[in-house]
Amino acid sequence: MAPSETARENVSPGLFDRLTSTSVPVLQDLQEAAQLALQVEFTTIPVYLSALYSISDAGSHVYQTLRSVAMEEMFHVNQAANIIVALGALPKFTGDAVPTFPGYMPQANPKTTPMVGLFRASPDVFANVFAAIESPSQYGAPPQGDNYDSIAQLYGALVAAVDAYPGNPFSTTGVPGRQRTNIYLGKFGGNVNEVMDKESFHAAVNEIVEQGEGTVPPEKPLVPVESFGTYNHYGKRTDGTYGPILGTPYELSHFLKFREVSLDSANFPATLPIISNPDSSDYTNPQAKRLSDSFDDHYSLMLHAFEATFKAGDSDPYFSVVLSIMHRVLPHLARALMSTPAFADGDSSVGPNAAPAWRYRSDTNRTFGELTQELEDELDQLSTSPRENALRTHLKTALAGDKEIVTSAKALGL
């Protein structure tokens, strides 16, 4: 196998038409198909996290359910990236690979799949957006690449294309990237597999699909649970509380987790009064604009660091930069935005408040050191008003995360 340097940045329409119309698939088209799968998985993450950060009670069943899915989507992204590396390419997270909102899932059928966007959490969003994203395909539904009706059918098309490739298209030697099997997702996620051949590829795809959409076998309309529990699993206990459960319980697929939440609207927790599908150019509050730009710059630099984690070499920013931004910085910058009125003279307790737009800024030239200094300046400008207590707390936590990252980011030129 002759590996190419990168997968194509643009996943072109008609890709799967080409794959199914030729008797011998081209390796570069397999790389492109795997890149499409990665972009589909990654598109869900800002959608789920925006809703997650809007939930006031982090101890609620709704919050913990959505957080578990978001973490598992990161597992899916890592697994899809491993497939790309094994096919001899590098995963792309920047440029045209970055999702924009609102819109549809990349190359999905707009007539049968939901419009996805950045929304405040609600039972309707869980039912009509989240569950619709993860909706399982019917038993016997054909593989679909371009204009797919479900994510499972998209993976079906990828599997069919790989199976049609003569010989083994995967390799762990002579490739420009490295697979990641040492990822840490806390108590969530699954088993990240190294992809070496068609058998390990099938295992990787099967775990992604079953964990997300669930499976629909011929003898039942839907298998409601999948065996992805862990010892000391956290979940909803029989007394209605959320916490550790001894043993190895079965876990609901993403589809059924979302459906369960949507049907229990009476117990849905309070949420922050944020704008849906925010656009900082509409803000008239200068503070909201500054925080929005800071979030986008951190997000953009994180995406560059994420790409670097899959490149072969000694430098590995996964734990020192990517995870730190993902867990220590972005959540608190997001909640700082959600505690800030979008418009001048607004009231954060009433709204509308700002929210992260998850914009990729290819033209940003600010380093992490400069972003850290800007957060310090932002804190200095805050008043001592109790109304700004939440904003102050989140900015301090984000700033502490930034300070931990600066040295590692500087070594990467970020």
- pLDDT for the residue 249: 42
- Please report which helix (H) or strand (E) contains residue 245, including its range: strand 242-245
Nearest to 201 by CA among 151, 161, 252: 161
- pLDDT for the residue 142: 87
pLDDT of residue 250 exceeding 50 = no
pLDDT band at 366 (very low <50, low <70, confident <90, very high): confident
Give the Cα separation of 160 and 202 in Å (integer).
10
Interacting residues of 300 by C-beta distance below 8 A, sequence separation 6+: 94, 359, 360, 361, 362, 364
94 touches 362 (CB < 8 A)? yes
DSSP 341-373: BSSTT--TTTSPBP-------TT----HHHHHH
Handedness of CA 18, 24, 27, 33 (dihedral sign): positive
Report the greatest alpha carbon distance in the chain. Answer: 69
3 state SS of 211: helix
55 touches 48 (CB < 8 A)? no
- pLDDT for the residue 237: 58
**Main-chain phi, psi angles of 148, to 5 degrees:** -75, 150
Mean pLDDT for 72-92 is: 94
Handedness of CA 375, 381, 384, 387 (dihedral sign): negative
Computed on alpha carbons and rounded to an integer, the radius of gyration of the chain in Å comes to 21
- pLDDT for the residue 405: 87
- pLDDT for the residue 373: 93
Burial bucket for residue 246 (CB in 10 Å: 0-12, 13-18, 19+)? exposed
For helices 330-338 and 389-411, angle between their N-to-C axes, nearest 10 degrees: 150
pTM: 0.87
Mean pLDDT for 174-193 is: 72
